[in-house]
Amino acid sequence: MFQGKMKAVTFSYDDGVTQDIRFIELLNRYGLKGTFNLNSELLGKEGMLVRNGQTVTHNKVLPHDVRSIYEGHEVAAHTLTHPNLTKIEAASEIVRQVEQDRINLSELCGYEVFGMAYPCGGTNNDDRVAKIIREQTGIRYARALETNGSFDLQENLYRFRGTVYHHEEWDRLFEIGEQFLHAEAQEPMILYIWGHTYEFDIFPERWQKIEEFFQMIAGQKDIFYGTNREVLLENKT
């Protein structure tokens, strides 16, 4: 259970971009919590991306702003420089990318970072990498790229799969949200939503859509709203 409740909702967003600031304002407005996965050696870097034929900014937040921007939420690791860890042969380099990022972010945040999301698309996680991270770093959970559409708890927290990646599954997001709201939980249930906040800028109406989803999912007495760390590690009893 999650602080006496059978259902929990949590959000996870990658890359530490400046769009996180607007997104956090929305989370705070509706009493929701998120986890933000940062690349510590890329903080402050400016850039642009082309997605769906649209050019969007991909500017990373500044290191000295990390603590204030993410206050009340969770900062988690995303590796130092965003490589695909499955393509790295040396275990020592995988450990360096993950553990040094975790240490750097812990210093910036003022608390010990325990979480992580695997970077890159395609096949970005496997059993070999998960075993190295579990045995040789301080990471205690790592979110995979794949989603499973499920609310079930998962035994393998080092290849944890979210419920839905909303930027590619908008209709599915609202459908799954309705299912979760109306479910009569017999066992603990987690609704885990992840994405990238810069993707809201591809089509401006996406900001409105995510706020509509927040309005729908927030404020339920039978739901615990927490960060990934709170939901996956701290509040299960």
Note whether 211 and 19 are within 8 A (CB).
no
- The rounded average pLDDT for each run of 10 residues, N- to C-terminus, in the chain (237 residues) is 94 98 98 98 96 92 98 98 98 98 98 97 94 98 95 95 85 94 94 96 92 97 97 76
**Cα(97)–Cα(15) distance, rounded to whole angstroms?**
15
Q: Residue 236: what pLDDT?
A: 54
Q: Residue 110: what pLDDT?
A: 97
Q: Under DSSP, is residue 143 helix (H, G, I), strand (E, B) or coil? A: strand
CB atoms within 10 A of CB 114: 20
38 closest CA partner among 10, 7, 8, 69? 69
**Cα(96)–Cα(10) distance, rounded to whole angstroms?**
28
Catalogue the long-range contacts made by 143-152 (C-beta closer than 8 Å, 24 or more residues apart).
Answer: 143/12, 143/37, 143/115, 143/116, 143/117, 143/118, 143/192, 143/194, 143/228, 144/118, 145/118, 145/120, 145/121, 147/194, 149/176, 151/7, 151/180, 151/183, 151/189, 151/190, 151/191, 152/187, 152/189, 152/190
**Cα(89)–Cα(226) distance, rounded to whole angstroms?**
35
Q: Residue 171: what pLDDT?
A: 84
Burial of 125 (0-12, 13-18, 19+ CB in 10 A): buried
- Output the six-digit token pair for 219: 């404020």
Choices 3.20.20.370, 3.30.420.40, 2.60.120.10, 3.40.190.10: CATH for 7-234? 3.20.20.370
Q: Residue 237: what pLDDT?
A: 47
Report the alpha-carbon angle 142-147-151, nearest 5: 90
Q: Residue 98: what pLDDT?
A: 98
**Domain map (residue ranges) of the chain:** 7-234
Q: Residue 235: what pLDDT?
A: 65
Helix (H) or strand (E) holding 128: helix 127-136
